[in-house]
Amino acid sequence: MQRHARRRHFLMCPPLHFDVIYAMNPWMNVGVPVDRGRALAQWTTLVETYRRYGHQVDLLDPVPGLVDMVFAANGATVVDGKVLGARFASPYRQGEAEFHNAWHRAHHSAYALPGTSLTTAVAEPGAVNEGEGDFAILADRILAGYGFRTSREAHQELATLAGSQVVSLQLVDPRFYHLDVALAVLDDLAEHIAYYPPAFSPASQRTLQRLYPDAVIATEPDAVLLGLNGVSDGLHVFVPAGAGHLIEELGRAGYETIPIDLSELAKSGGSIKCCTQEIRPAPRRDPQRTS
In a domain, 1, yes or no: no
In a domain, 251, yes or no: yes
Residues with catalytic annotation?
A: 178, 274
pTM of the entire predicted model: 0.95
Measured CA to CA in angstroms, residue 87 lies from 16, 76, 233 at distances of 23, 9, 27
d(CA 227, CA 216): 12
* pLDDT tens sequence for the chain (291 residues): 899 999 999 999 999 999 999 999 999 999 999 999 999 999 999 999 999 999 999 999 999 999 999 999 999 999 999 999 999 999 999 999 999 999 999 999 899 888 777 666 789 999 999 999 999 999 999 999 999 999 999 999 999 999 999 999 999 999 999 999 999 999 999 999 999 999 999 999 999 999 999 999 999 999 999 999 999 999 999 999 999 999 999 999 999 999 999 999 999 999 999 999 999 999 864 445 555
Is residue 285 assigned to a domain? no
C-alpha of 137 from chain center: 9
Q: What is the CATH number of the domain that holds 104?
A: 3.75.10.10
Asked if residue 289 is part of any domain, the answer here is no
The answer to the question of residue 121 being in a domain is yes
Please check whether residue 113 lies inside any domain of the structure.
Answer: yes
Q: How many domains does the chain have?
A: 1
Report the number of secondary-structure helices (H) and strands (E) in the chain: 7, 15
What is the model's pLDDT at position 153? 98
pLDDT of residue 118: 66
Q: Which amino acid is at 255?
A: Y
- What 8-state DSSP symbol labels residue 67? T
Q: Is residue 2 part of a domain?
A: no
Q: Residue 241's domain spans which residues?
A: 9-278
Residue 149 CA neighbour count, 13 Å, CB half: 30
Is 287 part of a structural domain of the chain?
no
Mapped onto helix, strand or coil, the DSSP state of residue 131 is helix
